[in-house]
Amino acid sequence: MPTLEQFISEGFFNQKRTIGAVVDHCKTKARNFKNNELSGSLGRLVRNNKLSRTKNADGQWEYIKK
């Protein structure tokens, strides 16, 4: 997804981000997505070694640039 690739290049994923934080950031860029609309694209970025993910204390995935 071009939006997520742009966020990587802008440094948004230099810190750990939950999918909720990604959705909120999309809203600031006038793009409205639901969590389930981004989860597949985030998973693809993990498989392509652009992002890594770990579970936080609340059991939510957190994504960060590799």
Query: pTM for the complete prediction?
Result: 0.91
What's the domain range around 48?
A: 2-65
Residue 3 has pLDDT above 70, yes or no: yes
Q: Does pLDDT of 2 surpass 80? A: no
Domain count, the chain: 1
57 CB neighbour count, 10 Å cutoff: 5
The CATH number of the domain holding residue 57 is 1.10.10.10
3-state secondary structure of 21: helix
Residue 4 CA to chain centroid, in angstroms? 7
In angstroms, the CA 28 to CA 35 distance is 15
Residue with more model confidence, 50 or 29:
50
Residue of 31, 55, 51, 54 whose CA lies nearest to 42: 51
- Burial-class residue 9 by CB neighbours within 10 Å (0-12, 13-18, 19+): exposed
Res. 43: pLDDT tops 90? yes
